[in-house]
Amino acid sequence: MTEDHLVFKALADSTRRFLLDLLFERDGRTLTELESELEMTRFGVMKHLHVLEAAGLVVARRSGREKLHFLNPVPIRLVHDRWIDKYTERQVSALTELKDHLEETA
């Protein structure tokens, strides 16, 4: 699977997008903190975090005994530069198509 594919796949899920939004609001959170914001088992949240990590959208770092999760926006930037800039003359419609694509596959 290509890098782009992993990013699109990871973004095509509302729970995972919600996790990214949580990290965007405040970065460097533990699994316990993230879990408290979701109506989901700890295992379920872990699975979603693994998909986000595999796509490079979340970077986990150890800090003492804790594992902290950080939002990594670089893959989104790369998708932007690769797919959006290319269609610069019809930028707005390309963004709309991306939105439709993500919503369809969600």
Partner 1 sequence: MTTADPTTATTQVYRVYIKATPQAIWDAITQPEWTERYGYGGRGEYDLRPGGAYRGYTSQGMRSAGAPDLAIDGEIVEADPPWRLVQTWRMVMDEVMAAEGFTRLTYEIKEGRAGVTRLTVTHELAGTPQLAVLMSGGREDEGAGGGWSWVLSSLKTLLETGSEIEFQPGAPE
CB of 79 to partner 1, least distance (A): 10
Residues in contact with partner 1, total (CB under 8 A)? 25
Residue closer to partner 1 (CB basis): 36 or 96? 36
Q: Report DSSP letters for 37-89, one per residue.
A: TSSS-HHHHHHHHHHHHHTTSEEEEEETTEEEEEE--HHHHHHIIIIIGGGGG
Is 27 among the residues that bind partner 1 (CB under 8 A)? yes
The binding site for partner 1 (CB under 8 A) comprises: 3, 26-30, 32-33, 36, 56, 59, 61, 63, 66, 68, 70-74, 76-78, 81, 85
